[in-house]
Each structure stands twice: as C-alpha cells, then as structure tokens.
A and B are shown apart, each in its own frame.
Chain A
Amino acid sequence: MGMNVETVTTAPPKEISPSGMKVIWREIRKDRMAMISLVVLGIVLIAVYSAALFIDKDAVARVDVFSIYMDPSSAYWLGTDYGGRDVFKQLIIGTRNSFSISLGITVLTALIGLSAGLIAGYFGGWTDNIIMRVIDFVITLPQMMFIIVLVTIIPKFTVTTFILIMTLFLWTGKARLIRSKVLSERELDYVHASQTLGTPHWKIILYHILPNVSSLIIVNFTLNLAGNIGLETALTFLGFGLPESTPSLGTLIAYATNPEVLEYRWWIWLPASVMILILMLSINFIGQALKRAGDARQRRG
C-alpha cells in the first residue's frame, strides 16, 4: 500500500532550482574579489605544498654559524636568521605547516561543534540545556590565557596536543550557531512529517536537517579556517604555539620581537606577515561569497 501512495504523489517539479554547488560556483564567478582570491589561494597552496616536497626539512632547521644574518642573495632569497637558517625555505615549510595545522583544527572543531549543535538543537529540553550551559561557560573563559597555560604545563607537547588544546576551546562558537539554526529547522513541517512517519531520529538529523544547515556549515568552516590561521600564528609568535621542531609562519614573525630585526631586517618577518594576510584575506573573501550564496536575498547572480 505504502508504495502505491508514493508513486501517486511524485509529480515532476516544473522549475528545478539550481543545486547548491551550482549556486556557490555562480556566486564566486560573479564576485571578482572571490574569484581572484580563489585563484591566488590555489596558486599559493599548490606552489607551497609542491615546493615543500623538495626541501630537506632537517637542513632548514640546522644551525649554520658561518651564515648568520645574511642579507638576501641569490643563494638565500630572503637572507638567513640568527641561526644561519634559510628564511625563504622556512617560509615555505612554515606556510605549509600553518595551513595544514589550522585546517586540522578547523576540521576537528567542525566535527565536534556540528555534533553538539545538531544534538542540542534537535532534542532540545535537558540535553540542550546541559550542552548550552557548557558552551556558555567555555565561551566566557579567557581562552588565550587558558591555551597558553595548557601549552606550558603539558609535558610532552606535540602538534597533536596543540590541535587538541585549540579544539577544546574553539568548538563552542560553531556549536551555538548550528544549534540556533537547527532549533528553528526542527519546527518545520518536513521534520514533523518525518517524525510522524516514524523515521529514526538519527536519520532525520543526518538526511533531513544536516543538508539544510550545510550552507551555514560551509561558510562557518571557511571563516574559521582563516581565523585559526591567525590564532595559530599569533600563539606561535608569542612562543606558545607549535613546538620548535615544526616551524610556522608565526616562528618567522617572532624574530621581529628583536627590535634590531624588526627595524633593519624586514625581509625576515615581513614576507611571513604578508603570507598570513594573503591566506586570511583570500579565504575570507571566498567565505563572504559563500555566505551570499547561502542567503538568497543577498545573491548577486
């Protein structure tokens, strides 16, 4: 019987609205800044990741007392630092590390924030109350101080621990955002219809609600990625980020805490700063275009 009902009700829709990916692509093409950003980001990332393959990581970290603080030359494109290490090669490795690690943090926070947000928003009631109390609390903590303290007191500090510490504090904003969207989504008819049909909760969450909050997730993911690059490099700049064996863009900028380097050897810290600006700006511009694609009222095309 059930099968019969289904065949009767499916009538072909007259106007097919463009699919999600198509809308996103059209929006990025319409927005000149987003298009330029996409190209720039693509070129920078491909160049950095492929160049990093040819760089001997140990050689970059090795101290060479005979070439301390050399000016830029054909051998050292951006000169050398106080340990005689090649700044240009550190820039390549640093960009790769900073981007990969920020991406890792973003993916992990997205997974946790998404699960917490979906569960809190969908089930509501006590579940929601408990999750929201935790989020409200973690959000008000002075996060930077806690991260720095944790980084210092954890005995075996590695890249993985760094990612975990950051995730501990950064999942909350996303969870709150997604929860508020799910709260309004679950009151809509399609969810009630599914519930009446007896669809299990996890299926409703994964197949019905998740696709409807996906544009929010993508936008938030992009903006967070940019933000995390800033946060990671800032922490490394202060000396509480990545361990020394993993150079980051922040490591190069940290050399500028020495006024001598800041004033007279700008080629050590400025390229890394510009690299961070390029990464964050282009990711943000793409994110803004995605945001418009997700909101029909703001679309340009």
Chain B
Amino acid sequence: MWKFILRRVLIMIPQLFILSIIVFAMAKAMPGDALSGKVMDPGISPERIEELRDQMGLNDPMHTQYIRWISNVAQGDFGQSYTHKTKVMNVIEDRVWQTVYLSLFTVIIIYALAIPLGILSGRYNDTWIDKAITGYTYVGFATPTFIFGLIVLFLFGFTLDLFPTGGTVSSKVDEGTFAYFLSKLNHMVLPAFSAALISTVGVVQYLRSEVVDNKLKDYVRTARSKGIPESKVYSRHILRNSFLPIAAFLGYEITGLIGGSIIIETIFSYPGIGQLFVTSISLRDFSVVTALVMLTGFATLLGTLLSDIILSAVDPRIRIE
C-alpha cells in the first residue's frame, strides 16, 4: 500500500512540473505583464517603462523568469490583480470558499439522490420504477448543465419567484446569525440542485449496474440461505460491495465540479472562483487568470491522486498493476 502511494505521488511531481511550464507559457502568451497590474502615472515615458521592466527582470532569459515565477508561486505569490488593485491571492481567497461551500452542498445532493435511486433501480431491475429511473438517467445524461440551469433559473427564480436569482447571501441579514446561514443555503439551492440533478446520473447508472451484478453473486445467495431478511441483504451486503467503488469516485467528482463551477456560477451570478475566472478573462486581468488555472490544475491533480489512493485501498487489484 505505502509503495503504491509513494509511486503515485512520485508520478505527480513531473505532472506538476509540466503543468507549471504550460501555465507559465500561457501567462507569457497573454497580453500585458506584471507592470500592467501597477497603478501608474499615465504620463510616464517609454524609456522609464523599459527601465522598470529591466528592474523587474522582465527582460531576463525565459528560464530565469520561470524560476523566479515558480518560486513565488510556491510561496503563494501570484502578483497583483489589475482590476482589484490588490494581491491576486487575496482576491482568490475571498471567492474560493463560496465555491467550496457550493461544491460540498452539490456533492451531498448528488450522493443523497444517487444512493436510493441506484439501489432501487438495481434491486427492482426491469420493473416500472427501474424504467422511470433509467429514463431519468438517459435524459439527464443528454442534457447540458447550462441549459438545465437556465431553465431552472427561469422557472423557479423568475417565473415562480421561489428562490433568489443571484449572489450568495441576502444583504438584510447579519453575519454569524442563523438567518445568515439560512439565507446562504437558500442562495445555493438553485445552483446546487441544477448541477447535482445532472451530475448524479453517472453515479446512479454506475450504482445500478453494480447492484445488478452483485445480487447474483454467491455471497448474496449465502446470505439469503442463512435466512437474512431481504432488506438487510441489500442494506448490509450488497450496498457495501456496490458502494466502495462509488466512494472512490468522490475525488474525481469534486474536481469535475470545480470545472463545472464556471458554467453554474455564471448562470446564477454566484461569486465563486468560476465566475471570477470568467470576469477576469473578460476584463483581461490575466494575473488572476494565471493564478486560477495554476491552482485549479493543482487541485485536480490532488483530487485524482486522492481518488487513486482510495481506489487502491478499496480494491487491492489496482495496486498490483
């Protein structure tokens, strides 16, 4: 086990290195540089700018620039934001928690829906309830999140006026109170459900086929012949075996949500990092864009690492490869 984890972590080092080089190359290809982030006197002469560029090392050879950049990044320094007039890390710190809360809420809904639906569908396969659930997974599989989100926003946000249509919290409540917490939840309902109802179908399909496969296995027959009630056969025996691989996908699920946050947050005007990314690109605030790409890339690598480790803990056969 430890050998597997060590090898898996070692694979991540070159991946991180390549990721940083790609992001650095993209940052260099973006218009503007560290100077455009500074507030400057508009009457400044081109010679003075060139002097400043020399001082900041922007005319150094690429590899020196890369080394300086990556050592700053390792310390969490991504430079200045041009639109927010503050450190990039401060801007991101403000937003990242909103996305984390929304993603957690979404993951909870995904699993809260997928587990009962998957088990019902697998247990009573080829009955009307299975057909209904399978129909839902087909439709959900073919529906893009942005269209579903828009229709949800149109119906429940505007037409029926049941939920807020943007933001994270109402301005009328004080921070720290219970009402504040409720208002936050209320603002997350539409974006979280829109993302979850679509993302859950993959888990449902997977769980269903696991249950269908498992219920014909010998250990289930043994359990039944010992006289264990049917409900317990499912809740204790089949569910445990079917659920382990699903739990392992949690890491991938979370990284998928970070990517999906771009669409969901834009539609529901939810100020997380997805929306920050889109506005920063539109405002050409490239220091923020670079930081977000680097951090999200790092987060996805970590998420995959986590999933791989859980998978190998659950299923020893993966380790032997």
Q: With A149-B293, A153-B29, A281-B139 known to touch, is A142 a contact of B300 (CB < 8 Å)? A: yes
Asked if A123 lies at the interface with its beta carbon under 8 angstroms from chain B, I say no
Q: With A140-B300, A140-B304, A234-B146 known to touch, is A146 a contact of B293 (CB < 8 Å)? A: yes
| Cα A259 to Cα B144 with chains together (Å) | 20
Q: With A140-B15, A140-B301 known to touch, is A234 a contact of B263 (CB < 8 Å)? A: yes
Asked if B5 lies at the interface with its beta carbon under 8 angstroms from chain A, I say no
Q: With A142-B297, A234-B263 known to touch, is A253 a contact of B158 (CB < 8 Å)? A: no
Asked if B310 lies at the interface with its beta carbon under 8 angstroms from chain A, I say no
> Would you call A273 and B158 a contact (CB within 8 A)?
no
Of B31, B150, B259, which is within 8 A of A273 by CB?
B150
Q: Type the 1/0 row for B141-154, where 1 means its CB is closer than 8 Å to any CB of A.
A: 11111110011011
Asked if B159 lies at the interface with its beta carbon under 8 angstroms from chain A, I say yes
- Least CB separation from B284: chain A residue: A152
| Cα A141 to Cα B258 with chains together (Å) | 11
> Would you call A277 and B147 a contact (CB within 8 A)?
yes
CB contact list, A97-112 vs B, under 8 A: none
Q: With A149-B289, A152-B281 known to touch, is A230 a contact of B144 (CB < 8 Å)? A: yes
| Cα A47 to Cα B255 with chains together (Å) | 40
- Least CB separation from A145: chain B residue: B293
| Cα A246 to Cα B267 with chains together (Å) | 23
Asked if A284 lies at the interface with its beta carbon under 8 angstroms from chain B, I say yes
> Would you call B281 and A262 a contact (CB within 8 A)?
no
| Cα A148 to Cα B255 with chains together (Å) | 17
Number of interface residues of B (CB under 8 A): 43
Q: Kindly list chain B residues whose C-beta atoms are within 8 Å of the C-beta of A256.
A: 150, 154
Of A142, A226, A262, which is within 8 A of B293 by CB?
A142
Asked if B165 lies at the interface with its beta carbon under 8 angstroms from chain A, I say yes
Asked if A233 lies at the interface with its beta carbon under 8 angstroms from chain B, I say yes
| Cα A153 to Cα B23 with chains together (Å) | 13
> Would you call B142 and A280 a contact (CB within 8 A)?
yes
Q: Kindly list chain A residues whose C-beta atoms are within 8 Å of the C-beta of B26.
A: 149-150, 153
| Cα A280 to Cα B139 with chains together (Å) | 9
Q: Kindly list chain A residues whose C-beta atoms are within 8 Å of the C-beta of B177.
A: none
| Cα A288 to Cα B301 with chains together (Å) | 32
> Would you call B138 and A253 a contact (CB within 8 A)?
no
| Cα A247 to Cα B301 with chains together (Å) | 36
> Would you call A141 and B147 a contact (CB within 8 A)?
no
> Would you call B144 and A141 a contact (CB within 8 A)?
no
Q: Kindly list chain B residues whose C-beta atoms are within 8 Å of the C-beta of A230.
A: 144
Asked if B318 lies at the interface with its beta carbon under 8 angstroms from chain A, I say no
Q: Kindly list chain A residues whose C-beta atoms are within 8 Å of the C-beta of B281.
A: 148-149, 152, 240
> Would you call A277 and B263 a contact (CB within 8 A)?
no
- Least CB separation from A288: chain B residue: B138
> Would you call A238 and B150 a contact (CB within 8 A)?
no
Asked if A122 lies at the interface with its beta carbon under 8 angstroms from chain B, I say no
Asked if A266 lies at the interface with its beta carbon under 8 angstroms from chain B, I say yes
> Would you call A145 and B292 a contact (CB within 8 A)?
yes
> Would you call A141 and B138 a contact (CB within 8 A)?
no
Chain A min CB distance to B33 (Å)? 13
Chain A min CB distance to B191 (Å)? 15
Asked if B262 lies at the interface with its beta carbon under 8 angstroms from chain A, I say yes
| Cα A296 to Cα B281 with chains together (Å) | 49
- Least CB separation from B154: chain A residue: A262
CB contact list, B119-142 vs A, under 8 A: 138-139, 141-142
- Least CB separation from A281: chain B residue: B142
> Would you call A277 and B143 a contact (CB within 8 A)?
yes
Q: Kindly list chain A residues whose C-beta atoms are within 8 Å of the C-beta of B292.
A: 145
CB contact list, B246-291 vs A, under 8 A: 255, 258-260, 262-263, 266-267, 277-278, 281-282, 289
Chain B min CB distance to A289 (Å)? 11
- Least CB separation from B19: chain A residue: A141
| Cα A226 to Cα B138 with chains together (Å) | 12
Q: Kindly list chain B residues whose C-beta atoms are within 8 Å of the C-beta of A226.
A: 142
> Would you call B144 and A280 a contact (CB within 8 A)?
yes
Q: With A142-B258, A144-B259 known to touch, is A238 a contact of B266 (CB < 8 Å)? A: yes
Of A137, A238, A266, A276, which is within 8 A of B15 by CB?
A137
Q: Kindly list chain A residues whose C-beta atoms are within 8 Å of the C-beta of B258.
A: 142
> Would you call B165 and A259 a contact (CB within 8 A)?
yes
Q: With A146-B293, A153-B30 known to touch, is A277 a contact of B142 (CB < 8 Å)? A: yes
Asked if A171 lies at the interface with its beta carbon under 8 angstroms from chain B, I say no
Q: With A144-B262, A145-B296 known to touch, is A253 a contact of B142 (CB < 8 Å)? A: no
Q: Kindly list chain B residues whose C-beta atoms are within 8 Å of the C-beta of A257.
A: 266-267
Chain A min CB distance to B94 (Å)? 19
> Would you call A273 and B151 a contact (CB within 8 A)?
yes
Chain A min CB distance to B80 (Å)? 19
Q: Kindly list chain B residues whose C-beta atoms are within 8 Å of the C-beta of A239.
A: 278, 282
Q: List 28 A-B contacts (CB under 8 A).
A: A137-B18, A141-B19, A141-B297, A142-B255, A142-B259, A142-B296, A145-B292, A145-B293, A145-B297, A146-B293, A150-B26, A153-B29, A153-B31, A230-B144, A233-B144, A234-B145, A238-B263, A238-B266, A239-B278, A253-B150, A256-B150, A262-B154, A273-B147, A277-B142, A277-B143, A281-B138, A281-B139, A281-B142
Top 9 A-B pairs ranked by shortest CB distance? Answer: A230-B144, A284-B142, A263-B158, A280-B142, A142-B296, A281-B142, A273-B147, A234-B146, A140-B304
